[in-house]
Amino acid sequence: MRIEAIGCEPLLLARFNLENSRLLETYRRHGGYEALRKALTTMSPEDVINEVKKSALRGRGGAGFPTGTKWSFVPKDSPKPKYVVCNADESEPGTFKDRYLMERDPHMLIEGMLIAAYALGAHTAYCYTRGEYKYLIDIMDQAIEEARAAGLVGERIFGTDFSCEVYTHTGAGAYICGEETALLNSLEGLRGHPRMKPPFPAVAGLYGCPTVVNNVETLCAVPWIIMHGGDAYRGLGTEKSGGTKLWSVSGHVKYPGVYELPMGYDDMERFIMEDCGGIPNGRKLKAVIPGGSSVYIMSADDIIGKDVRMDYEGLVAAGSMVGSGGFIVMDDTVDIFESTKNLIEFYKHESCGWCTPCREGTDWLVKAFKRIARGEGRPEDAQLLLDLCDNIEGKSFCPLGDAAAWPIQSAIKRFPEDFKRHLVPLVERERAVA
């Protein structure tokens, strides 16, 4: 598996290939925790928030919300304690970048969490990590202990008045707990159902207190922004999306891996065919899901010769989304009906069951896909599937419902042949052949 930066200096990946990259000593030798020192000793919390606003850093968890703006929603005068929560639930199919950030450079994340805590006036930060990543929780715990021993976590950091504790927390197998409000319920020891918004976590989050939830990658970008300034970060990317972005590449490419690209990297085709080594075994590109399983699937025609720009606006223009940057490539052996069925089974398994359309809709869709796969498809099923998706989309309690509908809607739209083939009862298909 490859881990490398393309089209920019490695920013998030800067220390990945150092020996003992996860040790505090290595981190500090390479400038680690200097951003925290700078923030604590020379900047006010507002300065930090402004710098992050300037950087045009947008949330890397999937929604792409401007991070500085989110931080500024936290009420300054609230008498309640405030919390920073790092979202390391990383469960979106196709996404595995946070895993390597935590594995190779845990202190970068801790520093990011501490700076965020300082900016928001929080004294406790939790890192909610999916249960399967137990080894990463151990790595984080060790790193936190190291930092605590060095006075970087805990009381009066760098001799200032700022104190902050950092803790890890484990999930236990639930994709929905990546959704920030479900995550907070889970962190409170409840079932991982999402909460109603408003109130947003920035106002009433963990234990009803103001809380900021940010993705691992988002927080990891913060130390660099503080060190080099928001303008510098924005300069790496585009006007509206600053900095660099990690893409988790998997599927039918020669070199799967984690790639750091500047926002606005200008050609998705080149990225697949050259940077990732192209499609192996002499096969042809058929489809790409560029931003984790929840976004619209793209066909080769949407990509080849289309100069698709890899940033928030570019992907929307090309008919998909950045999402979490889980980039799944499929060659021409793949039946898109089958790949879509695989994903809808995922969503059914992960639906929390709270709301009607998502719970019942995904259950029905899976049953329909299975029936069709058994050879009992009917021509009217295309319409049925689309209609069920329409009854879920925009009507579910949280975005998981939409995330289940979009892959199907886009797959039927962009790969109608792959569906049509299945929507004739098997008996008739056999008869036609005979």
Partner 1 sequence: MAELVKVTINGEVYEVEKGRLLIDVCREKGHAVPSFCYYADLALQASCRMCLVRIEKMPKLQTSCTVTVTDGMVVTTESEEIEKARRGMLEFLLANHPLDCPVCDRGGECELQELTFDWGNLEERFIEPKNYQPERYLSPMVANDPQRCILCKRCTRVCDEWMGEEAIEAGGRGAATIISAYGDWLNCSQCGNCIEVCPTGTLLDATYRHQARPWELVRTISTCTFCSDGCQLALGARGEEVLRTVARDRYVNGINGEFLCVKGRFASHPFVNHQARLRTPMIRYRKGGKLLPATWDQAVEFVAQRLSAIRDAHGPEAIGVVGSPRLTNEANYTLLRFARDVIGTENYTATDAFSLVPFFENMSAPLATHRDIRDAQTILLIGGEPEELQPLTGKQIRQAVRNGGARLIVVNSVPIRLTKNAAQFIHSRPGAEEAFVLALVARDETELAARKMGVEASEIERARRALGETQGTVVIAFGQLSPAAQKAVAQLPHLYAGDGRRFLFHPLPLFNNSVGVHDMGLMRGAMTATEMLDAAGEPIRALYVAGSFLRQQLDGRAEKLGRLDLLVVQELFETETTEHADVVLPAASFAEVDGTFTNNAGQVQRVRQAIPPVHLSKPDWLIVASVAEAMGAKFGIELSASAIFRDIAANVPAYQGLRYPLLKDESRPVQVKHALAERRDIGSEIEALHAAVAQMDEAAPKITETPPVGHELFKLGTLTEKLPQFHYLAAGNPKPENTLASSPLIQLTIDAALRKRREEMAVAGD
Partner 2 sequence: MNPLPKEIEEEIQSFSPEVEAEIDRHIAKYPVKRSAILPIMFIVQRERGYLDAAGIAYIARRLDLTITDVWEVATFYTMINLKPVGKYHIQVCRTLSCQLLGADKIVERISKKLGIEPGETTPDGRFTLSWVECLGSCGTAPAMQIGFDYYENLTPERVDEILDSLKE
Ligand X SMILES: Cc1cc2nc3c(=O)[nH]c(=O)nc-3n(C[C@H](O)[C@H](O)[C@H](O)COP(=O)(O)O)c2cc1C
**Applying CB under 8 A, does 245 fall inside the site for partner 2?**
no
Residue bearing tokens 């994340």 = 109
Q: Is 215 in the site for ligand X (CB under 6 A)?
A: yes
Residue 400 within binding range of ligand X, rule CB under 6 A: yes
CA distances (Å), 126 to each of 233, 300, 338, in order? 26, 41, 39
Q: Is 191 in the site for partner 1 (CB under 8 A)?
A: yes
Q: Which is nearer to partner 1, 151 or 353 (CB)?
A: 353
Q: Which two tokens stand for residue 295?
A: 């976004």
Q: Which is nearer to ligand X, 56 or 403 (CB)?
A: 403
Q: Is 26 in the site for partner 1 (CB under 8 A)?
A: no
For position 175 contacting partner 2 by CB under 8 A, the verdict is: yes
d(CA 232, CA 11): 12
Nearer of residues 125 and 388 to partner 1, judged by Cβ:
388
CB burial of 241-277 (b: ≥16 within 10 Å; e: otherwise) equals bbbbbbbbbbbbbeebbbbbbbbbbebbbebbbebbe
Please select the residue that binds ligand X; options are 55, 124, 211, 218, rule is CB under 6 A. Answer: 218
Two tokens, residue 368: 């329909």
Min dist. Cβ of residue 73 to partner 1 (A) = 19
Q: Provide, rounded to whole angstroms, the least separation between the CB of residue 432 and partner 2.
A: 28
Residue 242 binds which entry of ligand X, partner 1, partner 2, none, CB below 5-8 Å type-dependent: none
Neighbours of 154 (CB within 10 A): 15
Q: Is 142 in the site for partner 2 (CB under 8 A)?
A: no
Contact assessment for residue 224 and residue 234, using Cβ atoms and an 8 Å cutoff: no
354 binds, among ligand X, partner 2, partner 1, none (CB under 5 to 8 A by kind): partner 1
Q: Sheet holding 285-289: strands in order across?
A: 2-5, 257-262, 244-251, 326-331, 285-289, 298-299
The answer to whether residue 391 forms part of the interface with partner 1 (CB under 8 A) is yes
C-alpha distances (whole Å) from 225 to each of 42, 79, 84, 168, 242 are: 15, 29, 18, 24, 10
Nearest partner of 296 among 388, 410, 417, judged by Cα? 410
Residue whose CB is less far from ligand X, 267 or 393: 393
Q: Which of positions 326-345 make contact with partner 2 (CB under 8 A)?
A: 326, 328, 330, 334, 339, 342-343, 345
Binders of partner 2: how many residues, by CB under 8 A?
55
1 binds, among ligand X, partner 1, partner 2, none (CB under 5 to 8 A by kind): partner 2
Interacting positions 75-114 with ligand X (CB under 6 A)? 87, 89-92
Residue from 3, 18, 23, 384 that binds partner 1 (CB under 8 A)? 384
Residue with tokens 């059914």: 348
Q: 336, 415 in Cβ contact below 8 A?
A: yes
> How many angstroms separate the first and last alpha carbons of the chain?
47
* Spatial CB neighbours of 406, under 8 Å, sequence gap ≥ 6: 294, 295, 296, 393
349 lines the binding site for partner 1 (CB under 8 A): yes
By CB under 6 A, tell whether 60 contacts ligand X: yes
Spatial CA neighbour of 117 closest among 107, 125, 128 = 125
Interface region with partner 1, contact rule CB under 8 A, candidates 16-24, 112-120, 267-275, 367-375: 367-375
DSSP state of 153: S
Chain position carrying tokens 């993705």 = 215
Instruction: List binders of ligand X among 172-191 (CB under 6 A).
Output: 176, 178-180
Shorter beta-carbon distance to partner 2: residue 103 or 313: 103
Per rule CB under 8 A, count of chain residues that contact partner 1? 30
Q: Tell which residue, 314, 284, 313, has the closest CA to residue 301.
A: 284
Give the footprint of ligand X on this chain (CB under 6 A).
59-63, 65, 67, 87, 89-92, 176, 178-180, 213-215, 218, 398-400, 403
Give the footprint of partner 2 on this chain (CB under 8 A).
1, 81, 90-96, 99, 126, 130-135, 167, 169-175, 186-192, 207, 248-252, 256-258, 289, 293, 326, 328, 330, 334, 339, 342-343, 345-346, 349-350, 352
